[in-house]
Amino acid sequence: MTNLVYVGWSHRGAPLELRERLAFTPDRAVEALEGLFKEEILTEGAIVSTCNRAEIYGVTAREDELAALSGYFARFHSIDGAWLLSTGQSARGDSTVRHLFRVTSGLDSMVLGEAQILGQIRDAYRLAVTARAARSVTNKLFQSAIDCGRRVRNETALGTRPTSVPGVALSLAGRIFESLAGCRVLLLGAGQVSELTTRLLVEDGVTDIRFANRSAEKAAALAESAGGKAVPWERRAEEYGQVDVIVSATGASEARSSSSTSRSRATSSPPWTRSRTCTATTSTR
């Protein structure tokens, strides 16, 4: 007997530290799928890896899918298997379909109606197709889920005001200031979340945006696109006292340390500086 199953770790049950360690690049996702097929844990499937979730959907003949998949990813990512078992979620059959539909529609996101997830599910499906990991069941599952997500966006109120984690973070920052337009912003990171944050900042009329990233080239490219300024990664702390808003959009541990440092510096600053200092953090894994 074969089962349609899903096993995943998301913001609903897994801590950020674990979700970061479970993140997949496209190449690593393909490698993981190949390993699952080789060990006969799955016969087809796809891996969804986003900021707040790592999920595997597929077909298996095993009855212990949570234990089998948790054990495999414990070895793959060098993570304690008991930790994965205690924080993972799983489902079979119709419950798997229902879960993926909720994810694709933005109903299971950290921010209700989050708009990026539909494209991320589409990318995960395309990767599985390219890797020849998506076969009859996976094809039908993901095609139907993507169609469901598209209909939710087009036919319900959930899609009338697209949201995202960076958007919510900036909205919260906007409550501190009369307008973000006159603010000086330091953005840590230069990935997809940073690109989205940059677009939102520009739309809000922010003209002083400073970019710091481990890759100087990426920081410079993003700064050029927004008319901002690139800051060397090793000198980012020098900017903390010069800006009003700090947005950390990177999964690097040193960036999280930087955010903590910026908050402590704000605390030791004069009262008028404390009242105009805001740090927003968005995870990229």
Residue 106 main-chain phi, psi, to 5 deg: 85, 10
State how far the Cα of 255 lies from the Cα of 212, in Å rounded to an integer.
10
218, burial (CB in 10 Å: exposed 0-12, middle 13-18, buried 19+): middle
Nearest Cα to Cα of residue 138 among 149, 147, 129: 129
Return all residues near 159 (Cβ < 8 A) that are at least 6 apart: 113, 115, 152, 153
Let me know: does 149 contact 118? Beta carbons within 8 Å: yes
Instruction: From the candidates 51, 148, 183, 278, give the one annotated as an active-site residue.
Output: 51
- Radius of gyration of the chain from its Cα atoms, rounded to whole angstroms: 21
Residue 273 main-chain phi, psi, to 5 deg: -75, -40
135, burial (CB in 10 Å: exposed 0-12, middle 13-18, buried 19+): middle
Residue recorded with tokens 């805001």: 278
DSSP 228: -
The conformational region for residue 93 under phi > 0 = left, psi -120 to 50 = alpha, else beta, is: left
Active site residue 148: no
| Catalytic annotation, residues | 51
